[in-house]
Amino acid sequence: MTDERYDYQPGTIEPKWQERWATEGTFKTPTDRTKPKYYVLDMFPYPSGAGLHVGHPKGYVATDVVARAKRAQGCNVLRVMGWDSFGLPAERQAVKEGKHPREITTRNIATFKGQLQQLGLSYDWEREVATSDPDYYRWTQWIFLKLYKAGLAFQAEVPVNWCPALGTVLANEEVHDGVYKETGDPVEARLMKQWMFRITDYAERLLAGLDDVDWPEGIKRLQRDWIGRSEGADIRFAVAGSEATIEVFTTRPDTLFGCTYVVLAPEHALVEALTSDAQRAAVAAYVESTGKRTERDRKAQAADAPKTGVSTGFMAINPVNGEQIPIWIADYVIGSYGHGAVFACPAHDVRDHAFAKTFDLPIKEVVAGGDVTQEAYTGDGPHVSSSFLDGLEIDAAKAKITEWLTSEAKGSGVVRFALRDWLFSRQRYWGEPFPLVETEDGTTHTIPEDQLPVLLPELDAYKPTEDGRPPLARATDWVQTEVSGKPARRETNTMPQWAGSCWYYLRFTSPTRDDMAWDPEEEAYWMPVDLYVGGAEHAVLHLLYARFWHQVLYDQKLVSTPEPFKRLFNQGMVHATSYTDERERYYYPEQVEEVDGKWVTKEGALPLKTKLEKMSKSKCNVANPDDVCAKFGADALRLYELFMGPLEDGATWTTDGVSGTRRFLDRLWRVVINDETNALSAKIVSEEVDNKDLERALHLGIKVMSEAVDTLRFNVAIARFMEFVNEATKAKQVPQAWIESFLCALAPLAPHLCEELWERLGHEGGISLVPWPSYDEAVLKVETVKLVVQINGKKKGEVELAPDASQDEALAAAKALEKVAAAITGKTIRREIYVPGRLVNIVAN
């Protein structure tokens, strides 16, 4: 073959450099401590069987670019990857295939790792961790003991979200509309003994800590809402003809004079005691019916939704005026919030108003300003019909009534949180065993730290037992143990998947230590995480739980920073077009075609709907990074992931788009390499060249890229780089020094190609070790700028001036324009505006 060409071949150079980085240990975490540190972290993935699609690497590529640039900028960088590898899907797959979950997990990790490695991500793979590895979960158990010994773990008989299909309970956060968010299996309420964490003890701290971190405001707000701090008062109501006292929580104690009834949640402890014989049947029926209702039935209830309830026949006594008011039961009151009971003020609460209307209960106005016969008035105004509160506005009235309640011993001011204690046990196999045993007298004992880990017993069936105990109960030999000679039973629950991800960022600082969870010196050096990148779906759960553990560890002086994640960044999702027919069946892009602007199936020409949706296997719209790498190369894929748009926005995947970034790399290659001879291109010269456009493009590119490392707005930087390559393609000569600076700035984005060209340009050491290129502001300056000249905001012409011209010069030049002179003749100049480098505006009439 004589027409052999030497064009850009990512298929050859990418494996070459990946191998080189691995053998030379290029991305090994530095051990010297003389440089500033930078800890950049990805939210580690759950290694699912489906493998990666092109949406996953978006965040990883962004952090990789930051990591590579920070190294070049003189930082010691900690850049690591691991696996959140405990979890239900592996267990289910294990059942399906008749294999052990460990086997499934190992296989999936290998797939994920291979897919990530071909992208050339600069992880220090020697620090890889997996939460399901005994060397790792040993320390998860160790941290559990720290929390346990701090009195933060407790067992409680609690109503839980029981999922019959999975045979386990779920956390509140995992349930939505009465179904498990992940699988859609229905969830029902059940009373069970469970391990809980007193995360509520940290509610105030978790709230306050948000003020000190650089997180998107939206995420902070979600966490604040989730924690849900509210100030109010506890008020005690006596009951006529009973010794019982009903305690209620309210944020509006000022409306106490407007109270016309009291409501208990159906599950309230006093329901039995406070039901009259006449109402007993009705109450029992109501309690039964609401108990049966799963949350799925109750789902989307707005505040003014139709209300149900039943009277108990008992009367409560309003502590502030001695009035007798009826006690009702209704499911709009939630048993688990506050005291599971409220006093109702229909005039000033939407829910109470709807209830009072339904059951024809009195509505008594105590804050003037609305028409309470029509709707609840929740705005401010002077209090009326409220004795000593009359005339006061809400805040003052709240303070005064709270003071009164306190002095009369009928109540007190309190702060309450919507945050609930964290339900921490699961009835699954593939999770961390608790390091706990129970003796026959019911006492719980901890396993000594030096006996950790408590290993998962080997089982061949992973379902709960017939009588509903967790899968670990099947390991009868394992369960039976002893404590100081006395027989004892091991805890058979396992920890939820959140456990491992609550502290993996700490393990990464010294992942191979087998004598401690982390080395305090390493922790002190690397923490906090400087940049944490992941999806917004973890806004509440993972980030709140991890902060909670971290704060506990901080209190025990086990970590050096009060917050784990200094800066958080959420990358947007990658969407792709999906095709569905009338029956909502999905089709692969290969199965469809466009006819006259309409999409139909190739076979049978069924009409189709197109939609932009989150990439997902079930929607037949995933693009596989392996295919993209094979066709365009990892560097083109990396560039396109970031070129699609701002990192935080959702983006639409188009394979045509990748061809654009690939063409950019092809052009760059041809600027440097003569693709007919495989030698350096003749346009690369060692001497200086007078080409202002090219030089400016270079410096602008470096500048914008330097900024992008902090703002993560790589899409703009890539556009600048494209301009440079376009200029360089046009140029007759390109100084080698310029192209080298350019390669250094581009290397974090397209590392394989830049390494290769760097080597071809005669350098021995890798480009990954070369310091970050600088740019010169002076080069960016242009000699003249076009100033827009306006009269009364309307464009009349342009003048060309030096960018730093004075106002007088600019105005003089503007007025010298014929059109301008004509426009201002005979008029009074009211105002003259000069924005250097931009415009001159003369306001005249």
Residue 309 or 766: the one with the smaller Cβ distance to RNA is 309
Is 667 among the residues that bind RNA (CB under 7 A)?
A: yes
Closest Cα to residue 479, out of 492, 460, 467? 492
Q: Identify the residue among 178, 370, 646, 797 touching RNA (CB under 7 A).
A: 646
Extract the tokens encoding 336.
């688990």
Distances (CA, A) of 275 to 145, 268, 283, 319: 45, 12, 7, 21
Please list every residue from 299 through 318 that binds RNA, using CB under 7 A: 300-303, 305, 307
Is 722 among the residues that bind RNA (CB under 7 A)?
A: yes
**Minimum distance, C-beta of residue 517 to RNA, in the bound complex (Å):** 31
Please list every residue from 395 through 434 that binds RNA, using CB under 7 A: 416, 418
Contact assessment for residue 524 and residue 146, using Cβ atoms and an 8 Å cutoff: no
Residue 320 or 718: the one with the smaller Cβ distance to RNA is 718
Please list every residue from 519 through 578 that binds RNA, using CB under 7 A: 536-537, 540
**Minimum distance, C-beta of residue 276 to RNA, in the bound complex (Å):** 23
- How many other CB atoms sit within 10 Å of the CB of residue 758? 22
Is 296 among the residues that bind RNA (CB under 7 A)?
A: no
Distances (CA, A) of 43 to 80, 542, 648, 812: 10, 10, 15, 59
Sheet holding 76-80, edge to edge: 76-80, 37-42, 531-534, 568-570
Write the binding mask 461 to 500 for RNA: x where contact by CB under 7 A, - elsewhere.
Answer: ----------------------------------------
Is 33 among the residues that bind RNA (CB under 7 A)?
A: no
From CA 541, how far away is CA 206, in angstroms rounded? 13
Residue 127 or 398: the one with the smaller Cβ distance to RNA is 398
From CA 503, how far away is CA 546, in angstroms rounded? 7
**Minimum distance, C-beta of residue 291 to RNA, in the bound complex (Å):** 14
Instruction: Return the range that interacts with RNA (CB under 7 A); candidates 156-164, 751-759, 773-781, 787-795.
Output: 787-795
**Minimum distance, C-beta of residue 458 to RNA, in the bound complex (Å):** 37
Is 833 among the residues that bind RNA (CB under 7 A)?
A: yes
For residue 50, the one-letter residue type is A
Distances (CA, A) of 255 to 259, 364, 395: 7, 10, 11
**Minimum distance, C-beta of residue 228 to RNA, in the bound complex (Å):** 5
From CA 744, how far away is CA 788, in angstroms rounded? 38
Instruction: Return the range that interacts with RNA (CB under 7 A); candidates 204-212, 640-648, 676-684, 771-779.
Output: 640-648
DSSP reduced 3-state for 685: strand
Q: Identify the residue among 91, 267, 666, 756 touching RNA (CB under 7 A).
A: 666
| Torsions phi, psi for 515 (to 5 deg) | -110, -5
Is residue 243 packed enough to be buried (19+ CB in 10 Å), middle (13-18) or exposed (0-12)? Answer: exposed
**Minimum distance, C-beta of residue 314 to RNA, in the bound complex (Å):** 19
DSSP state of 379: S
Is 159 among the residues that bind RNA (CB under 7 A)?
A: no
Instruction: Dump strand ranges (E) for 505-562.
Output: 531-534
**Minimum distance, C-beta of residue 493 to RNA, in the bound complex (Å):** 25
DSSP reduced 3-state for 44: coil
**Minimum distance, C-beta of residue 618 to RNA, in the bound complex (Å):** 14
**Minimum distance, C-beta of residue 579 to RNA, in the bound complex (Å):** 15
Is 585 among the residues that bind RNA (CB under 7 A)?
A: no
Extract the tokens encoding 685.
């010269």
Residue 459 or 536: the one with the smaller Cβ distance to RNA is 536
- How many other CB atoms sit within 10 Å of the CB of residue 679? 11
In DSSP terms, 248 is beta-bridged to 235
Q: Identify the residue among 663, 696, 760, 815 touching RNA (CB under 7 A).
A: 663
Q: Identify the residue among 280, 793, 803, 819 touching RNA (CB under 7 A).
A: 793
Is 831 among the residues that bind RNA (CB under 7 A)?
A: yes
Write the binding mask 254 to 293 for RNA: x where contact by CB under 7 A, - elsewhere.
Answer: -----------x----------------------------
Residue 71 or 351: the one with the smaller Cβ distance to RNA is 351
Contacts of 175 (CB under 8 A, 6+ apart): 161, 181, 187, 295
